Amino acid sequence: MGRDDRPYHVPVLAAEVVALLGPPAAGVVLDATFGGGGHTRALLAAAPGIRVIGIDRDPDAATPAAALGEAVTFVCGNFREMTGLVRGVGVDEIAAAVFDLGVSSHQLDVGDRGLSYHRPGVLDMRLGEDGALTAEVVVNEWDEASLTAVIRRYGEDPHARRIAAAIVRARPLRDAAELARVVAGAVPARSRRGAHPARRTFQAIRIAVNDELGALREGLESALSLLQPGGRIAVVSYHSLEDRIVKRRFAAGATGCVCPPDLPVCGCGRTAELRLLTRRPIVPGEAEVAANPRARSARLRAAEQVAR
């Protein structure tokens, strides 16, 4: 995969993540989406005694991880396989975990991944080299109904049917810039103001290619199973469907007895495993969004493990 000399990734809500995670004075912290290591650097600055395990599907992330020295152990892999990856480096439990979901600035800026609608690039869109499905297969081989469903569900685009039909008519499509032009041409002129008209479609195809929502569900469960009592987890999401998964899982974990209030003795035996640290998501301030426009849709939620 290609590289350039721009900053790998600007961490979003880094100060807020550090504040919510503690951070622990010692122990192992898991950075489940290491990227350029921005959140890890912030955590190490606040707590130099910690050890960090950084997971990322993208082998390019090994370079910024190596620059942080012996405090960081980098593992290339999908965080949905987190338990095996963490135990593979000799760790059975963690003191904290952070997820920064979505795609890194580096991956958007490197054109040969096809993740950007602003530049040419092969229709790949995999966030790592381990995936079998590519955007080229989705764009050129999936039927119109399946394309419509993906763009509508993951892109939440009201013009999903028109866009899918335009893609099918334009086949074969081999280049990201070409796909962006086809999508833009399918969107009515009145809807082209503001964000690029292909943004939602590219997001939808990328989510489908990487099964990002399925990976998030599995990764959250693995992180919570590894988290020691008193350990904390923070998740930065950028899509309403991601945020909903995190919100519901944290809420379910924070729910204790569900017996009727007039029952004198608890019969369900349920106790809360989590304590919510954020009743509502934390969002970036105006200054952060101005400095890093990619932060504008970020939502941060956090919880603390209180029981097993």
Cβ–Cβ < 8 Å for 183, 199: no
**Of 1-10, 98-107, 134-143, 277-286, which gets the smallest average pLDDT?**
1-10
Question: Residue 7: pLDDT band by 50, 70, 90 thresholds?
Answer: low
CA torsion sign for 136, 142, 143, 148 is negative
Mean pLDDT for 163-183 is 97
Give CA torsion, residues 107, 112, 117, 120, to 10 deg: 150
**What are the start and end residues of each CATH 3.40.50.150 domain in the chain?**
14-106+212-305
The CATH number, out of the four listed (3.40.50.2300, 3.40.50.300, 3.40.50.150, 2.40.50.90), of the domain defined by the range 14-106+212-305 = 3.40.50.150
Mean pLDDT for 222-229 is 97
Closest by CA to 68, choosing from 88, 90, 50, is: 50
Mean pLDDT for 97-102 is 94
CATH for 112-210 is 1.10.150.170
Cβ–Cβ < 8 Å for 128, 117: no
Mean pLDDT for 18-22 is 95
Question: Residue 109: pLDDT band by 50, 70, 90 thresholds?
Answer: low
- Compute the C-alpha angle 126/1/111, nearest 5°: 75
- pTM value > 0.75: yes
Strand partners, 175: 122
Q: Identify the pLDDT of residue 252.
A: 96
Q: Identify the pLDDT of residue 141.
A: 98
Cβ–Cβ < 8 Å for 139, 205: yes
Q: Identify the pLDDT of residue 261.
A: 76
Length of the chain: 308
The CB density around residue 279, as the number of other CB atoms within 10 Å, is 6
Terminal-to-terminal C-alpha distance of the chain: 42
Question: Residue 18: pLDDT band by 50, 70, 90 thresholds?
Answer: very high
Higher pLDDT, 157 or 8: 157
Cβ–Cβ < 8 Å for 235, 102: no
Give CA–CA dist 90/146, Å, rounded: 42
Mean pLDDT for 26-48 is 95
Give CA–CA dist 38/18, Å, rounded: 11
Give CA–CA dist 95/306, Å, rounded: 12
Q: Identify the pLDDT of residue 54.
A: 98
Question: Residue 308: pLDDT band by 50, 70, 90 thresholds?
Answer: low
Q: CA Rg, the chain, in Å? A: 21
Closest by CA to 103, choosing from 94, 91, 90, 116, is: 116
Is the pLDDT at 1 greater than 50, yes or no? no
Cβ–Cβ < 8 Å for 207, 180: no
Q: Identify the pLDDT of residue 3.
A: 42
* Token representation of residue 2: 């290609």
The CB density around residue 181, as the number of other CB atoms within 10 Å, is 15
Average pLDDT, the chain: 91
Q: Is 22 left (phi over 0), alpha (psi -120 to 50) or beta?
A: left
**What are the start and end residues of each CATH 1.10.150.170 domain in the chain?**
112-210
